[in-house]
């Protein structure tokens, strides 16, 4: 008998919670409910096994991690779903700086030869040469930026310097464009005759001017000042420089990204589980829902974003689409950020933006189709026409990112008509050998503007029907009384008794599954708008009376 009552107690809790779950389509997985919110207090001495006496509101339901219950200014309630559709980091947009070769050879020019040959042995002869190298950054689209300057996080200039003259020499290598702590890089290398030397210059935290004082882009000039100590009259030879700037990674790039694509793809979906368990041949109508698209940008690049499509899906209807061509504005501008800051912008879709056009839906029509998930496809372009650039045109920091977040707000405001909700539980009565029959009684006081009728199907493990308790034509929870605005002004009490008689009880030991089928409707079978408020609740009193075999 103890096991039997324990199983019925567990069933009663699940049954009531499932009913609450159905109230105004607060559709979360049954595992999301917090059973500890219910109490099993004494309530009626005439019943042998008191089960539940509890008051429950929507705040007693545990919602998924990306979902919360919002109380609006008028005390009405909304379900809010949030997601991060996409984040693009600088590493997703800019490949690391190219490995830059440094290859040049210094030979005595005709003028140098005349001067060198006329100099006496043991004297010094000095000359200057230079080399221009490219330091470019390429985006993942294959577009090369026009860089004005860059601050490096790391990098190493490796130079091998070979002297093929038969004279010793000294070379001063100066790079005015590369500064560390405000001082240009300059290194002096002593070269023996017919010998090779190595120079490694650490470029970590170096600031590089790539404009050559505003005259070009992506360029670095290296100046070589060479002093040859004349040991003999042999003028043959050269000084050969070879190497690379390797492992260059940036802290910040400054320049022009040009107009190119940052994002052009279908984004991650946002799941809307409120609709997952609902099926209907009638309809749903939701008022004043919104989808808010929030853009955050810490790139020094302005963006223009447009939505190629916003797709909804459920298994009954397949794919359906919002009228994205009617979104105002069609091209949404997100300004460039100031360095170290974030630029933000928002676009809100509502019942008037966009309107329906052909087979493409307004937001109300889109949500009334009950999408299990919503998937946007976005096209985002850099540096759109007519937008002012920052001081350095654009900047990209190694920490820069751009994100699109979504907030779907579904007010519990509207109509529900003829919804059939179905769910299956594992359930066992246990031993019923000593039980002849039992009665389950519910006393439910409801201030929600939603009613429920039910059908309970008990099956064995193979889903063969053992017993059906059919209350589908009778409301087990009646609607509260509402005013013309759809707000409950008085609660309604419904008393129900379910008798399982002696011809049925012996078969209950076979039961392994419980299938619940419920019909959900708002006031007047979905013909009137209703609205859920924070003070709506359900008081449930439930008990069981068992007749035992003598």
Note the pTM of the prediction, 2 decimals: 0.79
**Mean pLDDT, to the nearest integer, of 409-415?**
91
- The band of 392, judged by pLDDT with boundaries at 50, 70 and 90, is low
Which structure tokens are listed for 112? Answer: 């140098």
Cα angle 328, 352, 292; round to 5: 65
* Segment 69-109, tens digit of pLDDT: 999 999 999 999 999 999 999 999 987 676 678 899 999 99
The most confident of 3-17, 41-55, 246-260, 272-286, by mean pLDDT: 246-260
Dist. CA 382–CA 521, nearest whole Å = 49
> How much is the pLDDT for 65?
83
> How much is the pLDDT for 280?
52
Q: CA torsion 136→138→142→146, rounded to 10°? A: -60
> How much is the pLDDT for 166?
96
* CATH number 2.60.120 given to 258-411: yes
Residue with tokens 């859920």: 532
- Tell me, which fold does domain 98-256 have in CATH? Jelly Rolls (2.60.120)
Which structure tokens are listed for 99? Answer: 């490995």
Which structure tokens are listed for 246? Answer: 């390797």
> How much is the pLDDT for 238?
95
* Segment 492-545, tens digit of pLDDT: 998 877 788 888 888 888 888 888 777 778 888 778 889 999 999 888 777 777
How far, CA to CA in Å, does 435 sit from each of 208, 465, 512, 544?
88, 21, 18, 12
**Mean pLDDT, to the nearest integer, of 457-462?**
91
> How much is the pLDDT for 112?
92
> How much is the pLDDT for 148?
93
List the beta bridge partners of residue 394. 255
**Mean pLDDT, to the nearest integer, of 285-306?**
95
| Inter-residue contact 279 to 419 (CB < 8 Å) | yes
Lowest-confidence pick of 387-391, 438-442, 457-461, 525-529: 387-391
> How much is the pLDDT for 321?
97
Dist. CA 52–CA 60, nearest whole Å = 15
> How much is the pLDDT for 533?
94
SS3 40: coil
Dist. CA 382–CA 301, nearest whole Å = 7
- Reference 250, options 205, 213, 219; nearest CA is 205
Dist. CA 258–CA 396, nearest whole Å = 13
- Select the more confidently predicted residue: 231 or 526: 231
List the beta bridge partners of residue 393. 255
DSSP state of 122: T
- The band of 432, judged by pLDDT with boundaries at 50, 70 and 90, is confident
Task: Say how many C-beta atoms besides its own lie within 10 A of residue 392's C-beta.
Answer: 16
| Inter-residue contact 175 to 184 (CB < 8 Å) | yes
- Select the more confidently predicted residue: 428 or 122: 122
Dist. CA 109–CA 299, nearest whole Å = 48
* Segment 342-384, tens digit of pLDDT: 999 999 999 999 999 999 999 999 998 989 999 999 999 999 9
Lowest-confidence pick of 114-118, 214-218, 251-255, 469-473: 469-473
Question: pLDDT averaged over the chain?
Answer: 84
Residues 6+ apart with CB under 8 A from 277: 27, 421, 422, 423
> How much is the pLDDT for 85?
96
> How much is the pLDDT for 6?
43
> How much is the pLDDT for 534?
93
* Segment 9-53, tens digit of pLDDT: 444 444 444 444 343 333 333 333 222 332 233 333 344 444 566
Residues of the chain with CATH 2.60.120: 98-256, 258-411
SS3 110: helix
Cα angle 262, 401, 219; round to 5: 70
The most confident of 4-18, 185-199, 484-498, by mean pLDDT: 185-199
Percent of residues, the chain, with pLDDT higher than 90: 55
Query: With 60 as the cut, is the pLDDT of residue 480 above it?
Result: yes
């Amino acid at each position: 008998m103890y096991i039997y009552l324990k199983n019925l107690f567990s069933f009663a809790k699940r049954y009531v919670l499932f009913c609450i779950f159905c109230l105004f389509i607060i559709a979360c997985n049954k595992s999301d409910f917090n059973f500890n919110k219910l109490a099993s207090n004494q309530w009626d001495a005439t019943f042998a096994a008191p089960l539940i006496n509890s008051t429950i509101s929507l705040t007693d339901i545990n919602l998924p991690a990306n979902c919360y219950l919002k109380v609006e200014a008028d005390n009405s309630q909304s379900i809010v779903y949030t997601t991060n559709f996409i984040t693009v980091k600088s590493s997703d947009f800019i490949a690391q700086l190219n490995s830059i070769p440094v290859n040049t050879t210094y030979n005595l020019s005709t003028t140098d030869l005349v001067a060198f040959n006329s100099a006496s042995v043991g004297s010094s002869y000095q000359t200057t040469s230079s080399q221009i190298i490219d330091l470019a950054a390429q985006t993942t689209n294959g577009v090369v930026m026009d860089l004005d300057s860059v601050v490096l996080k790391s990098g190493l200039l490796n130079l091998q310097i070979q002297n093929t003259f038969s004279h010793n020499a000294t070379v001063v290598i100066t790079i005015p464009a590369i500064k560390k702590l405000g001082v240009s890089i300059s290194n002096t290398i002593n070269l023996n005759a017919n010998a090779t030397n190595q120079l490694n210059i650490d470029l970590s935290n170096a600031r590089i001017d790539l404009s050559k004082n505003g005259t070009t882009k992506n360029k670095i000039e290296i100046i070589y000042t060479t002093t040859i100590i004349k040991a003999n009259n042999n003028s043959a030879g050269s000084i050969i420089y070879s190497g690379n700037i390797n492992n260059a990674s940036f802290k910040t790039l400054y320049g022009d990204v040009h107009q190119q694509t940052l994002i052009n793809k279908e984004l991650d979906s946002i799941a809307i589980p409120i609709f997952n368990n609902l099926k209907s041949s009638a309809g749903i109508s939701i008022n004043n829902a919104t989808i808010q698209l929030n853009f955050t940008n810490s790139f020094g690049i302005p963006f223009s974003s447009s939505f190629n499509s916003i797709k909804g899906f459920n298994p009954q209807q397949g794919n359906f689409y919002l009228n994205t061509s009617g979104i105002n504005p069609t091209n949404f501008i997100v300004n460039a950020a100031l360095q170290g800051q974030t630029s933000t912008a928002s676009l809100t879709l509502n019942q008037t933006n966009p309107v329906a056009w052909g087979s493409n839906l307004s937001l109300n029509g889109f949500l009334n189709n009950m999408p299990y998930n919503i998937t946007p496809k976005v096209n985002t372009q850099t540096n759109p026409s007519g937008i002012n650039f920052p001081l350095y045109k654009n900047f990209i920091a190694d920490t820069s990112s751009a994100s699109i977040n979504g907030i779907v707000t579904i007010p519990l405001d509207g109509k529900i008509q003829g919804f059939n909700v179905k769910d299956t539980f594992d359930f066992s009565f246990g031993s019923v050998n000593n039980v002849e029959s039992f009665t389950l009684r519910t006393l439910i006081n409801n201030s929600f503007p939603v009613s429920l009728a039910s059908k309970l199907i008990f099956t064995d493990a193979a889903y063969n029907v053992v017993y059906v308790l059919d209350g589908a034509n009778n409301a087990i929870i009646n609607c509260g009384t509402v005013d013309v605005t759809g707000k409950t002004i008085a609660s309604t009490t419904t008393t129900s008794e379910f008798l399982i008689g002696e011809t049925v009880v012996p078969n209950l030991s076979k039961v392994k599954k419980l299938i619940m089928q419920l019909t959900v409707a708002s006031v007047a079978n979905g013909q009137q708008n209703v609205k859920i408020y924070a003070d709506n609740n359900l008081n449930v009193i439930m008990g069981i009376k068992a007749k035992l075999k003598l």
